[in-house]
Amino acid sequence: MLLQITASGLAMGAIYALIALGYAFVWNTMAIVNFAAGEFVTFAAYIFVATFITQLGFPFWLALASAAAVMALLGAIFSRVVFARLQKQRPLVAIIATVAFGIFLKEMARILYGPEPLIYTGPFGSGSGIHVGNIVIGWQNLLILAVVVVLTIAQGIVLKRTMLGKMMRAVALDRDTAALMGIPVQRVLAGTFAWSSVLAALAGMLLAPLFFVTTEMGSMVGLKGFVAMIIGGFGSIPGAIIGGLLLGVGENWASYLLSSTYRDVIAFVILLLFLAVRPQGLLPERTADRA
């Protein structure tokens, strides 16, 4: 039974890891926490299901790519129009701006699509999945894990082996020096925020077949993604992935052993335990690693 619980926990942990990665990217490059991540999850799920799947009839993968492109555009616009004007202000001002942007997205979803929850069975319907011994792994859970693995590998290659990755790391290390070297800092920042928006959007679209799509679906998931980043190490890319997976599995185990009623509380109890025992996280980021 615990193996089955672990398998399902890994899928949910992968969702948290996606959101935590977005938090880590924005923090490393912009030195702010993007508290709109949860609402990116919500808005992406709505435009994916209601607009591209239901209204336009797009196939799953095309709808996924289209919704991700829309969310990337929204993220880039926020960076160029709002964040670029707030860089000389205190970081708290920019963080409050992300909160305001999140509220805007949430209310736009309510206005455009209404308060009623949406149901989407996903590309695999209600099929059970594959059997590995006594464990049944749902097809949607497998898809979530596969997407996270592919994105993690691709992201690592881009960051370490491409010119774009070098520019992103340079901006993360020292924005002023990067600008003096001719790097288009504002474009890099916009690209970073766009990518973090895509990560949160993918989390929302992959969650849509597992839960009802509502205007509240992303709030707690976004907070748990933030918890996952803290557990893994604030700003650490590998830590975000490990923190997300650990949180998902730990949450599932505790829900089974105690009660699912306390599922959301358990995530924050885990956070408090980590803050008490290892406040720097599992894999704390070192400044030298960002060069």
> What burial class does residue 88 get, using C-beta atoms within 10 Å of its C-beta: 0-12 exposed, 13-18 middle, 19+ buried?
exposed
Listed in sequence order, the residues at least 6 apart from 157 whose beta carbon sits closer than 8 Å to its beta carbon are none
Q: What is the mean pLDDT of residues 158-168?
A: 85
Average pLDDT over the chain reads 87
Domain-located, residue 192 = yes
- Whole-angstrom distance, CA of residue 56 vs CA of residue 117: 19
**Side-chain-facing half-sphere of 67: CA atoms under 13 Å:** 32
| Residues 195, 196, 200, 206, CA torsion sign | positive
DSSP-assigned letter for residue 131: E
Domain-located, residue 54 = yes
Q: What's the Cα-to-Cα distance from 48 to each of 74, 109, 194, rounded to whole Å?
A: 14, 12, 17
Supply 216's token pair.
Answer: 């509240």
Domain-located, residue 122 = no
- Please give the pLDDT value at position 126: 67
Supply 281's token pair.
Answer: 């996280």
Domain-located, residue 161 = yes
Q: What is the pLDDT of residues 207-261, one digit of tens each?
A: 999 888 999 999 899 999 999 999 998 888 889 999 999 999 988 888 888 877 7
Q: What is the mean pLDDT of residues 158-175?
A: 84
Q: Would the pLDDT of 206 be above 50?
A: yes
Supply 246's token pair.
Answer: 């650990």
**Tokens 């991540």 sit on residue:** 37
**Structural domain boundaries enclosing 251:** 2-116+133-290
> What burial class does residue 288 get, using C-beta atoms within 10 Å of its C-beta: 0-12 exposed, 13-18 middle, 19+ buried?
exposed
Q: Would the pLDDT of 131 be above 80?
A: no
- Whole-angstrom distance, CA of residue 214 vs CA of residue 259: 24
pLDDT above 70 covers a percentage of the chain that reads: 96
128 falls in which pLDDT band (50, 70, 90)?
low
Domain-located, residue 126 = no
- Please give the pLDDT value at position 199: 94
290 falls in which pLDDT band (50, 70, 90)?
very low
The DSSP element (H or E) to which 133 belongs, if any, is none
Listed in sequence order, the residues at least 6 apart from 194 whose beta carbon sits closer than 8 Å to its beta carbon are 72, 73, 75, 76, 79
Q: What is the mean pLDDT of residues 270-279?
A: 87
Supply 165's token pair.
Answer: 């990755």
Of 80-84, 121-125, 190-194, 205-209, the least confident = 121-125
Domain-located, residue 82 = yes
Domain-located, residue 52 = yes
Q: Would the pLDDT of 289 be above 50?
A: no
Beta bridge partner(s), residue 131: 136
Q: What is the mean pLDDT of residues 190-214?
A: 92
**CATH code assigned at 152:** 1.10.3470
User: How many domains does the structure of the chain reveal?
Assistant: 1
- Alpha helices by DSSP H, the chain: 2-30, 37-46, 60-78, 84-86, 91-113, 139-161, 163-173, 175-180, 185-207, 217-232, 237-257, 263-277
Q: What is the pLDDT of residues 27-63, one digit of tens each?
A: 888 888 899 999 999 999 999 999 999 999 999 999 9
- Please give the pLDDT value at position 256: 82
- Whole-angstrom distance, CA of residue 68 vs CA of residue 132: 32
- Whole-angstrom distance, CA of residue 101 vs CA of residue 145: 29
Q: What is the pLDDT of residues 6-31, one digit of tens each?
A: 888 898 999 999 999 999 888 888 88
Domain-located, residue 176 = yes
For the whole model, what pTM was predicted? 0.90
